[in-house]
Amino acid sequence: MSKVTAIVNQKGGVGKTTTCGNLGISLAREGKKVLLIDADPQGSLTVSMGYPQPDQLETSLATILGKIIQDEEIDLQEGILHHGEDVDILPGNIELSGLEISLVNVMSRERILKQYVDMVKDAYDYILIDCMPSLSTITINVLSCADSVIIPVQAAYLPVKGLEQLIKTIGKVKRHLNTKIEIAGILLTMVDQRTNYAKDIIAMLKEAYGRKIRIFESMIPMSVRAQEASTRGVSIFCYDSKGKVAKAYQMLTKEVLESEERFG
C-alpha cells in the first residue's frame, strides 16, 4: 500500500523542502521505495537533490500535468530523476507557474495531479510532495491526492494565524475533494534549544491544537548543517550522519512509520 504525504505550509522558509528531502531519504534508508515530487515553481527540492538548474530540465511536473490536461499518453518513467541516496524525484520548475494560470479553464482542475499520482502510486511505498508557499490551485491539487499532511512550523514565529487558514483549507478539501485526507501532524523545525522561545511556541501550539492535531514528538533542531547538506545536493544522513539534525529526522521517520502501523 502506498501512501501520499504532502508537506504543506503557505508560509515560506519553515523547512518544508528540507523536511521533504530528508524524510524521503530517511524512509528510503528504512527500505521504502520513495518518490519525491517538487510542486514548487521555485524548484528548491529539485536543487537540494542535486539539480542546481531546474528551469533547464526538459521534463518536470509541469510537463506531466500539461500532458494530462491535453489527454496525452504518459510514460511512467517520464521526467523521473534518480538520486544517489535511493529516491526518485519528479522535478519542479518555473513552468509550474505558467501551468497554474492555464488551469483556470481546465475541467476538474483540482484533480490533475491526482490522475498522475494514481498512475505511478503502485510503484512506490511513499510519495512525498513538497508544496509552494501558497494555497494555490497547484497546492490544492496536492491536497486532493494526499492521504496525509505534515505541517512544518518554524519555532521562531507565532504561527497561529497562518495555521488556522491552512487547517480550514484542509477541512474544505476533505469535504469537497478528498475525504480521506488526514493531518499527520505539526512538525516543529529550526528549534533553537538555547532559547525558551521554542518552548513557548510548543506550549502555545499544544494548547491551541493539541487536542485535535498531533504535534510530532520529534523536533528538528536549528543547525547550519541542514542548509549545507542541501546546497551540496545530499541529505543530512550523507553530509552529517552523526549530527543532531540527522538524529531528529530519523526519529521523525520512526514516528511516521509507527503511526502507519497503528492506523494503516
Largest interatomic CA distance in the chain: 54
**Cβ atoms within 10 Å, residue 40:** 28
| Single residue of 10, 26, 44, 189 touching Mg ion by CB under 5 A | 44
Cβ-contact 244, 223 below 8 angstroms: yes
Nearer to Mg ion, 3 or 16 (CB): 16
Q: Which part of the chain contacts Mg ion (CB under 5 A), choosing from 8-16, 57-65, 145-153, 218-226?
A: 8-16
- Least separation in angstroms between CB 191 and ligand ADP: 8
Q: Of 12-20, 54-62, 68-76, 179-187, which segment contacts ligand ADP by CB under 6 A?
A: 12-20
Measured from the CB atom, the residue of 111 and 230 that comes closer to Mg ion is: 230
Residues sharing a CB contact under 8 Å with residue 140, sequence separation 6 or more, in sequence order: 110, 169, 173, 177
**Least Å distance between CB 21 and Mg ion?**
10
Pick one of ligand ADP, Mg ion, none as the site partner of residue 18 (Cβ within 5 to 8 A by kind). Answer: ligand ADP
Task: Kindly identify the residues of this chain, within the stretch 89-148, that bind ligand ADP according to CB under 6 A.
Answer: 133
Q: Which stretch binds ligand ADP (CB under 6 A): 61-69, 76-84, 95-103, 222-230?
A: 222-230
> Which parts of 23-52 interact with ligand ADP (CB under 6 A)?
44
Q: Does 16 bind Mg ion (CB under 5 A)?
A: yes
Residue 69 or 252: which CB sits closer to Mg ion? 252
Positions in the binding site for ligand ADP (CB under 6 A): 12-18, 44, 133, 189-190, 220, 222-223, 226-227, 230, 245
